[in-house]
Structure 1
Amino acid sequence: MGNSFHSLFLCFFIFFFSFGFSSSEAQKKAPAVYVFGDSLFDVGNNNYLSLSLAKAILPYYGIDFPTKKPTGRFSNGKNAADLIAEKVGLPISPAYLSLVLKANHHKNVSYLEGVNFASGGAGIFDGTDDTSKQSIPLTKQVDFYSKVHEQLTQQIGASTLQKRLSKSIFLVVIGSNDIFGYFGSNVTQNKSTPQQFADSMASSLKVHLQRLYNNGARKFEIVGVAALGCCPAYRAKNKKTECFSEANLLAAKYDEVLQSMLKEWQSEKKDLSYSYFDTYAALQDLIQSPSSYGFANVKGACCGLGELNAQIPCLPISNICSNRKDHVFWDAVHPSEAAIRIVVDRLFSGHPKYTSPINMEQLLAI
């Protein structure tokens, strides 16, 4: 009886272990996710920039994060990069500068399952971060990736690396700070019309994407710019707290040019696949029909001070809403985790209304 029980237990253990292992392997939908962009995806890179004012390191940032502490994410909880990693079945891609610090202290670091280069205040153009004083612009983020590519080539060899990268996801969300910068500078507005500026943004982004392609990237998830004029920061400047229509028009122009550029680029590169996500449409849905999604407040920030809680940033002295789940916006410019979760669901497996030519789930399956 004893031997039979032990044999049965051993068989069960082997079956359970094998099943558990294969399940977790099956959940991993890509070898790695490499993240580029701005504060919507920053998981702490700006914490390592000594001069940067754009740091989410004070309460109440992170109040709904698992640790309940600020982590450098511009959110009350998890951000889009975290939630996308969960859907892909991978650990959250660590902040690149945190890995550099570890390496400098002679600790082992791995870039194989992905790295996050995103930085609060970053733009497609260099110098869009004048208000925050320091960020990692997209040019520099791609430079950092090139270094990672070089190290990975030495580590596992060019052929093995290319196979791995061709199945990995390159996630890019950038452009909002360029548009904020356009309306914050009379000089820029005098130099170029909104259409010219949108064209320049898209053509500059293509240069950066091409650099990633040249270093192995084949699958891109490109996130469009939202209706920025509807964020609390712009609404607070309007006596009627309505959306700033000019910012929305420029965002829409850029998204349109961006989609044309991506189609053209794919026609040039037959081994390239991409999914474009229409953040503009997804966020507008929440703003125009808030109750359908469980939101009660679409105009104001949950955390901040002044008109709509949006005139002074989210600080320890700020007002903070008691129910973060009923606010679309967490602070003056960033969505709440509740809003981000809905948006990421649509990015990942959403209807063609939000994704083109395919959604991220379909991109992973290629």
Structure 2
Amino acid sequence: MMKNSFLFISLLILNLGLFLEAQKVPAVYVFGDSLVDVGNNNYLTLSLVKAVLPHYGIDFPTKLPTGRFSNGKNAADLIAEKLGLATSPPYLSLVSKFNYNKNVSFLNGVNFASGGAGIFNGNDENLRQSIPLTKQVDYYSNVYEQLTQQVEASRLQKHLSKSIFIVVIGSNDIFGYYNSLDLPKKNTPQQYVDSMASSLKVQLQRLYNNGARKFEIIGLSPIGCCPISRLKNKTECFSEANLLSMKYNEILQIMLKDLKLKNKNLSYSYFDTYAAIQDLTQNPSSYGFVDVKGACCGLGELNAQFLCTPISIICANRQDHIFWDQVHPTEAATRIIVDKLYNGLSKYTHPINMEQLLAL
């Protein structure tokens, strides 16, 4: 009996050691939209922007919808895997009236992302459809205040300075621009993306002022090449949306360099999603993809004329599709993107990749 107990304890210590060795950062704090929402919108009672019906989650470990806009795991999950961490829980799951605990610790990381969110507040905040970035950062400010009461100041600063702050936002602002009759009349494309970048800069500065030091900033994909955008241009990429994405990515990188100059302790990795997705769509066979235009789950032309619902047609092989629904990638495509983000070449990551960011 004593021999078995000793063996059990030895294995436990070994496994704990392996876990601690695998964990590369103290925590991950996630901000953004549906690409990294892990269930926050489930707690917005009035929101219609929810991934709570089949076939969402069909390839998730539980095989059930979780609020992730994917057939399986999304980028927040897969980045956490790379970092040896559990996925940061949705903020609203920790503070909702059904699960409120004023003593909850946020030291293990939190996810504030919300499907449908943008850099700009838009009308979604009033309609409670999503949590815009400004509100997400407000929530983080509340978390920071709570942490200052729970953790000694120097320990907290060290914890946050080693943690990763992931920001995935802007796609819905681009959709909003080219789907609007009003916005293009009030702003040229350049004025609009300049305003997006300057608004984002304000929020990143707020995060920095509250302890954030290491940022993973995700650029916009070629939004005009997602299935719903292709419907506007006879199944080919909608060039106007792609041009807007490219313009924003250019000004975003200039903004990040300026932010770094003004905040000496700030470090960041920018990921060029545009280049990475283009690589997948232009060289699909080298990545195991067959369909680069259509959605796996939907109805109509390109399977993209209607949302993914229980009555949708679903593709037989989710591994050979880049897109899961009208706008979101499959888990298979997301895994490739996260691999490039984590330790990819300089053609995708500037000035360093995430792995190099961790080492700073």
Q: Structure 2 length normalisation: TM-score?
A: 0.96
1:49 to 44, 48, 55: 44
How far apart, CA to CA, are the structure 2 residues paired with 1:181 and 1:20?
Answer: 48
Aligned to 2:92: 97
- Partner residue, 1:343: 337
Quote the residue 2:179 is aligned against: 184
Quick one: which amino acid aligns to residue 247 of structure 1? A
SS in 2 for 1:181: helix
1:161 aligns with 2:156: yes
Q: 1:196-228: per-residue Cα shift (whole Å, max 9, x none)?
A: 111111111000000000000000000000000
- The aligned residue for residue 358 of structure 1 is 352
Aligned-pair CA distance for 1:101:
1.9
Task: Tell me, yes or no, if the aligned pair for 1:102 and 1:108 is still in contact at 8 Å.
Answer: no
Question: In 2, Cα distance between the equivalents of 1:253 and 1:331?
Answer: 25
- Cα distance between partner residues in 1 of 2:100 and 2:130: 23
Q: In the alignment, does 2:291 pair up with 1:297?
A: yes
SS at match of 2:352: coil
Q: Does 1:253 align with 2:223?
A: no
Query: What secondary structure does 2:182 align onto?
Result: helix
Q: What's the offset of the Cα at 1:129?
A: 3.9
Which residue, out of 318, 324, 335, partners 2:312? 318
Q: Structure 1 CA distance, aligned partners of 2:345 and 2:100?
A: 46
Residue type of the alignment partner of 1:309: N
Residues 121 and 133, structure 2, Cα contact 8 Å, conserved in 1: yes
In structure 1, stretches of 5+ residues that fail to align are none
Match of 1:112 in 2: 107
2:15 equivalent to 1:20: yes
Q: Hey, what's the Cα distance between the residues in 2 that align with 1:105 and 1:168?
A: 25
SS in structure 1 opposite 2:110? coil
- Alignment-mate amino acid for residue 55 of structure 2: Y
Q: Deviations over 1:115-174 (max 9, x none)?
A: 000000000001164998610000000000000001111111222111100000000000
Q: Distance in 2 between matches of 1:45 and 1:311?
A: 26
Q: CA deviation at 1:264?
A: 1.2
User: Please, which of 70, 74, 87 is the counterpart of residue 75 of structure 1?
Assistant: 70
Max Rg structure: 1
Distance 1:130 1:194, change over 3 A: farther
Q: 1:214 aligns with which of 209, 218, 232?
A: 209
The residue aligned with 1:286 is 280
User: Structure 1 residues 131 and 327, CA, compared in 2 at 3 Å: closer, same or farther?
Assistant: farther
Cα deviations by residue, 1:81-102 (Å, 9 ceiling, x for unpaired): 0000111111110000010126
Identity of aligned residues (%): 71
Say which of 264, 273, 279 aligns to 1:270.
264
Secondary structure of 1:335's aligned partner: coil
| Structure 1: distance between partners of 2:7 and 2:45 | 54
Residue 188 to residue 131, structure 1, CA distance change in 2 (3 Å) = farther
Secondary structure of the 1:237 match is helix
Structure 2 residue runs of 5 or longer lacking an equivalent are none
Query: CA separation of 1:276/1:61 partners in 2, compared to 1, >3 Å: closer, same or farther?
Result: same
1:303 corresponds to which letter in structure 2? C
Tell me how far apart the structure 2 counterparts of residues 10 and 230 of structure 1 sit (CA, whole Å).
58
What is the rounded CA distance, in whole Å, between the counterparts of 1:103 and 1:32 in structure 2? 25
User: What's the counterpart of residue 85 of structure 1?
Assistant: 80
Please report how far the alpha carbon of residue 52 of structure 1 lies from its aligned counterpart in structure 2 after TM superposition: 1.1
Is 1:54–1:132's contact at 8 Å kept on the other side of the alignment? no
1:229 aligned partner:
224
Equivalent residue for 2:303, pick from 286, 303, 309: 309
Q: What is the root-mean-square deviation in Å for CA atoms of aligned residues?
A: 1.8
Q: Which residue of 2 aligns with 1:200?
A: 195
* Residue 135, structure 1, aligned to residue 122, structure 2: no
Q: Distance in 2 between matches of 1:103 and 1:199?
A: 40
Shift of 1:109: 2.8
